[in-house]
Structure 1
Amino acid sequence: MSSHVLAVGEALVDEVHRPDGSAAEHPGGSIANVALTLGRLGRDVRLATWLGRDGRGDAVRAWLAESGVALADGSDGAERTSVAVATLDDGGSATYEFDLTWQVPERTAAGPDTLAVHTGSIAAVLEPGGGQVRALVEAARATSTITYDPNARPVIMGSADAARERIEGLVALADVVKVSDEDLGWLYPGQDPIEAARAWQGTLSGGVAGGRGPALVVVTQGGEGAVALTAGGGDVEVKAPSAQVVDTVGAGDSFMGALIDGLWGHDLLGAERRDALHAIAPDVVTAVLERCVAVAAITVSRAGANPPRRAELDG
C-alpha cells in the first residue's frame, strides 16, 4: 500500500439556499471537502465516512471518485445519506441545519503507510462516531501525523461549554490544528482569538495519551489571511489574495487540505517526522500558508465546495 492520508469524517449533501430564492444540491461535508482537496492536488487520500446506498450517496461517491478520493471499506453502511441545509446571506456566508447520522466504519485504522490522519468538525463530536474517532486518533499517533480542524457547528455541537472539553482533548492529541477565528470566538467568548490559539499551542502541550500538543496551530481569518503559531514560539502571518467571493462553502476545508499537502511536500508527515515538524522553520511555514490562502481564494470564487486542481495553481 502506498503512502497516503486517511481522512475520517462526514460526507454529505449540501442543500444550498441562496438569497435570490434559488436552491441547489452539492456533495460536501467538512472532512470530505478536505479529502477532495487533497485528491485534486494529486495526493493519495482515503476517506472513511458514512454514506447511504441511495441517490444522494451515489452523487457523493461519484464526486469523490472523479477527484481521486478512495472510500474506506464499509463507508456505505448508513441507512441514508446525510444532508446539510446551508442558507447563504448576501455576503456569501452560510448558516447550517443538519439531518445526519455518523459513525466510523468498522475496521478503520491507520496503517504503517498512513502518513497522516485528519479529522474534525461534526465527526469528532457526534456520537457514536465521536468516541470512535477519539480512539482511532489515539491509536494512530504511533504511525501518523494527526491533523485536526474543530470547524464548529453549534447547531450540532450544542453550547460552547459542552463542546470545549472534547475539542481541547483532540487539540492536545493533534500535531497540526487549523481553526478559524470565528470558531475560537465561539469557544472562548471575549478572548482574543490569537491568544486563545496560543493557549492551545502552549498550555495544552504535553497533553494526553502520549501527546506533546500541536507543533503548529493555524488561525484562519477569512479574507484577512492566516496566522500560524509554532512550537518554536514564532508567529507567521500571511495575507490572503483578493478574491471575488461567490460563497464561502468549503473554503476552510480547502485551506486544511492544502495545509496537509504543503507539509507532505516538505516531508513533515508521519510519526517519525514529529520532531522535524516541531522544529519547522518560519520560511517553510510561510511558503505552506501562502499556498493555503491561494487555494482558499480560488474556492471562494466558485459556487459550492469546488477547490482547485494542482494544475490551476502550478500553471
Structure 2
Amino acid sequence: MFLVCGEALFDVFIAGSAGAHLQMAARPGGSPFNVAIGLARQEKPVQFFGGIANDMLGSRLVSALEADGVGVQYLVRLDAPTALGLVSADIGGNPEYAFYGVGTADRGITVQHLMRLDESIRAIHIGSFSAVVEPVGLTFETLIRRERGTRLISYDPNVRLNVEPSIEVWLARIEQLVKLSDVIKISEEDVQLIYHGIQHAELAHRWLDAGAALVVITRGERGARAWNHSAFAEVDGKPVDVIDTVGAGDTFQSAMLSWLADTGNLAAGAASSIDSIHLHRMLEYAAQAAALTCTRLGADMPYKADIIDWMCSRSTADRAWLG
C-alpha cells in the first residue's frame, strides 16, 4: 500500500465574464491529490494523508478520493478554508495564476497529527508545495525521517513559486528531503529553476551519493532520464495531439510508482539495482501514461487498462515494457 502526503485543493478556471459576473469551473487538484488518484486508478491500494477543510469544498475533496478508492484513514479534517488556485487568461490569451492558500487546511497539519502507520504501507510519497510551507512541511519531513529505511520514500519537488516565491526556501527544503528519499523525480524545468543550469547527470549523481536509490528527470516532450547506482536509461518524448499538459507530471509519478510495485521494487533501496533494460521499461511505461494524459482535458488520471490499451495501439517499440 502507498501513503501519499500533501495538498488537496480546488483549481478554479475562469472561463469568461459577462459584466461583473465571472464564469468559473472548479475541479479537485493538487499534485499529491492527483498522484493518489492516479495510483488508485492503476489498481494500487493507496491512502491519502493531508489536511482537508471541514467545509463544503473539503467534503467534495473527500468524496472525490473515496469515489476512486483512495483510503481516507489518515485524513485530518480541520476548521480552516480550502485552498484555491485560480487560472485565467490575459487579453493575449496567456495564462494568469493566483493562489489563495494562507491559513488553509492543507497547511495546518502539525507533528501532533502524525499517526502510527499500518504495516501494510510499503511506500510513502510526498511532494509539491506542502513539503515547503509550514507547519505541514516540517510535519512531512518529520514523518519521513521516522520512516526512512523501513519504507520506500518517494519525493517530487514540483516547485510552485506562486505559493512560495523564495528560491532559497525551496532549495533548503529540497536539499534536506533528497537526503531522506529513495526515489526522486524532478522536472527539467525545476532543475533549471532551482539549480540554474546544472548538468542532469551531475545533479543525479549528487543525489545518489546523498543516499537516493533512483533519480528521474522528466523533460516534457523530450522524454525522461533515469539514474541509479548501477545503470542509466533514457526515453524520447511521445508525440501526441496535446490538449493540455495539466497532470502529466503527476501521471508520470503515479505510473512510475505503480511500475515499481508491479516489479517488486518497493523495498527501501531496491530501485538502486534495477538494470538499464528495466529502467528503460519503467520510463517507457510512465512516459506513455503521461502522454495519454496530455490528450485529455485537465488532470484526468488514466486507468491501468487505458494505459495498456494506449500502448498496445502504438508501435512495437512502445510496447517493450511488456516483455
User: Fold-level match, TM-score > 0.5?
Assistant: yes
Could you tell me which residue of structure 1 aligns to residue 282 of structure 2? 288
1:270 and 2:267 aligned: yes
Within a 5 Å distance, the mapping from 1:159-174 to structure 2 comes to 159-174=166-181
Greater CA deviation, 99-108 or 252-261? 99-108
- Per-residue CA deviations over 1:82-141 (Å, capped at 9, x if unaligned) read 111234699x99664321231337133433221100001111111010000000001111
Q: How far did residue 53 of structure 1 move?
A: 2.3
Could you tell me which amino acid in structure 2 is paired with residue 304 of structure 1?
A: G
Alignment match, 2:187: 180
Q: Which residue of 2 aligns with 1:44?
A: 45
AA paired with 2:276?
P
* d(CA) in 2 for partners of 1:18, 1:295: 28
The partner residue of 1:304 within 273, 285, 298 is 298
| Distance in 1 (alpha carbons) for counterparts of 2:9 and 2:154 | 21
Alignment partner of 1:227 out of 225, 228, 234: 225
The aligned counterpart of 2:61 is 60
Q: State the superposition RMSD in angstroms.
A: 2.3
Cα contact 2:153–2:180 (8 A) shared by 1: yes
Shift of residue 55, structure 1, vs aligned partner: 2.3
Structure 1 unmatched ranges of 5 or more:
206-212
Q: Conserved in 1, the CA contact under 8 Å of 2:52 and 2:75? A: no
Counterpart for residue 109 of structure 2: 104
Q: Residues 112 and 73 from structure 1, CA distance in 2 versus in 1: closer, same or farther, beyond 3 angstroms?
A: closer
Q: Which moved more, 1:38-47 or 1:240-249?
A: 240-249
Alignment match, 2:233: 236
> In the alignment, which residue of structure 2 is the partner of 1:201?
208
Q: SS state of the match for residue 76, structure 1?
A: strand
Distance 1:14 1:236 in 2: 35
Matches within 5 A, 1:68-87: 68-87=69-88
Query: What CA distance in whole angstroms lies between the structure 2 residues aligned with 1:11 and 1:158?
Result: 20
Closer, same or farther in 2 for the Cα pair 1:159/1:263, shift >3 Å?
same
Q: Distance in 2 between matches of 1:190 and 1:178?
A: 17
Once the two structures are TM-superposed, the CA of residue 231 in structure 1 deviates from its matched residue by 1.7
**Contact 2:4/2:36 (8 A) holds in 1:** yes
Using the aligned pairs only, state the percent identity: 34
1:113 aligns with 2:120: yes
1:278–1:298 distance in 2 versus 1, CA, 3 Å: same
Contact 2:8–2:50 (CA under 8 A) maintained in structure 1: yes
> Offset of 1:22 from its aligned partner?
6.4
TM-aligned CA deviation for residue 192 of structure 1: 3.3
What are the ranges of 5 or more consecutive residues in structure 2 without an aligned counterpart? 310-323
Kept after mapping to 1: 8 A contact 2:232/2:279: no
Partners of 2:95 and 2:115 lie apart in 1 by: 32
Q: Please state how far the C-alpha of 1:277 moved relative to its aligned partner.
A: 2.1
Displacement after TM superposition at 1:78 (Å): 4.2
Deviations 1:197-235 (A, max 9, x none): 333233xx2xxxxxxx11111000011110011122x32
Any idea what SS the aligned residue of 1:69 has?
Answer: coil
Secondary structure of 2:205's match?
Answer: helix
Partner of 1:218: 216
2:246 pairs with one of 243, 249, 270: 249
> For residues 32 and 133 of structure 1, what CA distance do their matches in structure 2 show?
15
Using the alignment, how far apart are the partners of 1:173 and 1:58 within structure 2?
33
For residue 159 of structure 1, report the CA deviation from its aligned partner.
Answer: 2.1
Cα distance in structure 2, aligned partners of 1:165 and 1:48: 23
Aligned position for 1:191 = 198
Moved more, 8-17 or 218-227: 8-17
CA distance in 2, matches of 1:15, 1:295: 25
TM-score (normalised: structure 2)? 0.85
- Provide closer, same or farther for how the CA distance between residues 41 and 127 of structure 1 changes in structure 2, counting only shifts above 3 A: same
Report the CA distance shift for 1:121/1:195 in structure 2 as closer, same or farther (over 3 A). Answer: same
Q: Give the Å deviation of 1:249.
A: 1.5
1-structure distance, mates of 2:259, 2:23: 37
Matches of 1:9 and 1:15 in 2, distance apart? 19
Question: Could you say what secondary structure the match of 1:240 adopts?
Answer: coil
SS at match of 2:175: helix
2:78 is paired with a residue whose SS is coil
Query: Quick one: which of 136, 147, 162 aligns to 2:143?
Result: 136
1:172 CA displacement: 1.1
Shift of the 266–96 alpha-carbon distance from structure 1 to 2, 3 Å rule, reads farther
2-side partners of 1:226 and 1:260: how far apart? 15
